[in-house]
Amino acid sequence: MKTFKRADINIWDLFMANYSPEESLVFLHTSQSGTAERYSILGHLPYATVTQKQGVVRYNGVITAQSFPEAVDALRTQDDPQLPDWPIQPEILGFVSYEEDPARFSRYDELFLYDHDAKTLDVAQFGHTTADYWLTPTSSLPVPQKVPAVSQPAAIFMDQTRQNYMASVAKMREHMAAGDLYVGNLTQQFDILSDAQPISVFQALVASNPAPFASFLQYPDWQITQISSSVERFVAIQDRQLITKPIKGTIARGRDAQTDAQQKAQLINNPKDTAELLMVTDLLRNDVARISEPLTIMVDKFAAVETFAHVHQLVTTIKSQVKSDLTFAEFMTAMFPGGSITGTPKRSAQAVIAELEKRPRGIYTGMQGWLNQAMDLDMNIAIRTLAYDGHHYQLGVGGGVTYESDAAAEFDEILVKAQPFLNVFGIDTVPTPIFTTGQVKNGQLLNLSAHVQRLEKQYQHADLTAQLQIFASQVENGVLRVSTDGDALTVATRELPPLTGAYRVKLADQPLPPSVLTQYKLSGPTFQKAFHEEVGRAKAAGYQDVLFHTNGLVTELAIGNFLARRGTTYYTPAKQALPGTYLAQFAESHEVVWQDIPLTELKSFDAFYMTNAVRGLVPIVLDDI
DSSP 166-229: HHHHHHHHHHHHTTS-SEEEEEEEEEEE----HHHHHHHHHHHS--TEEEEEEEGGGTEEEEEE
Domain final residue pick, 378, 407, 425: 425
Confidence of residue 522 (pLDDT cuts 50, 70, 90): very low
Residues 487, 607 share a domain: no
Q: What is the CATH number of the domain that holds 24?
A: 3.60.120.10
Residue 499 domain flag: no
Confidence of residue 391 (pLDDT cuts 50, 70, 90): confident
Please check the confidence at residue 451 and state whether its pLDDT lies above 70: yes
Nearest residue to 93 via CA among 320, 340, 380: 380
Residues 560, 475 share a domain: no
Confidence of residue 523 (pLDDT cuts 50, 70, 90): very low
Residue 129's pLDDT is 93
Asked, as a colleague might, if the bond just before 345 is cis with ω within 30 of 0, I would say: yes
Average pLDDT, the chain: 91
Alpha helices in 269-310, H assignment, sequence order: 271-289
Q: Rounded distance, CA 383 to CA 396, Å?
A: 7
Residue 580's pLDDT is 83
- C-alpha distances in angstroms, 545 versus 186, 513, 539? 47, 19, 7
Q: What is the CATH number of the domain that holds 467?
A: 3.30.470.10
Residue 551 domain flag: yes
Residue 379's pLDDT is 97
**Higher pLDDT pick, 102 / 435:** 102
* pLDDT tens figures, 477-510: 999 999 998 889 999 999 999 988 899 999 999 8
Residues 486, 350 share a domain: no
Q: Rounded distance, CA 224 to CA 203, Å?
A: 17
Please check the confidence at residue 472 and state whether its pLDDT lies above 60: yes
Please check the confidence at residue 375 and state whether its pLDDT lies above 80: yes
Domain final residue pick, 471, 494, 517: 494
Residue 509 domain flag: yes
Residues 183, 141 share a domain: yes
Residues 546, 482 share a domain: no
- Those residues with Cβ within 8 angstroms of residue 401's Cβ, 6 or more apart along the chain or in another chain: 169, 172, 173, 183, 184, 185, 186, 343, 410
Check: CB of residue 413 under 8 Å from CB of residue 193: no
First to last CA, the chain: 63
| DSSP bridge pairs for 186 | 399
Residues 450, 527 share a domain: no
Residue 528's pLDDT is 53
Residues 405, 289 share a domain: yes
Please check the confidence at residue 574 and state whether its pLDDT lies above 80: no
Please check the confidence at residue 34 and state whether its pLDDT lies above 80: no
Q: Rounded distance, CA 500 to CA 538, Å?
A: 17
Residues 153, 88 share a domain: yes
Residues 414, 393 share a domain: yes
Mean pLDDT on 48-58 = 97
Q: How many domains does the chain have?
A: 3
Domain final residue pick, 447, 466, 494: 494
The H or E element spanning position 570 is: strand 569-572
Q: How many other CB atoms are found less than 10 A from the CB of residue 147?
A: 17
Domain hosting residue 462, numbered range: 434-494
Please check the confidence at residue 593 and state whether its pLDDT lies above 90: yes
Residue 279's pLDDT is 87
Q: What is the CATH number of the domain that holds 508?
A: 3.20.10.10
The H or E element spanning position 470 is: helix 464-473
Helix (H, G, I), strand (E, B) or coil at 18: helix
- C-alpha distances in angstroms, 525 versus 520, 531, 535, 558? 11, 10, 13, 12
Residues 594, 474 share a domain: no
Residue 393's pLDDT is 97
Residue 576's pLDDT is 63
Residue 220 domain flag: yes
Residue 398 domain flag: yes
Residues 536, 482 share a domain: no
Residues 547, 461 share a domain: no
Nearest residue to 464 via CA among 437, 489, 438, 431: 489
Residue 10 domain flag: yes
Confidence of residue 456 (pLDDT cuts 50, 70, 90): confident
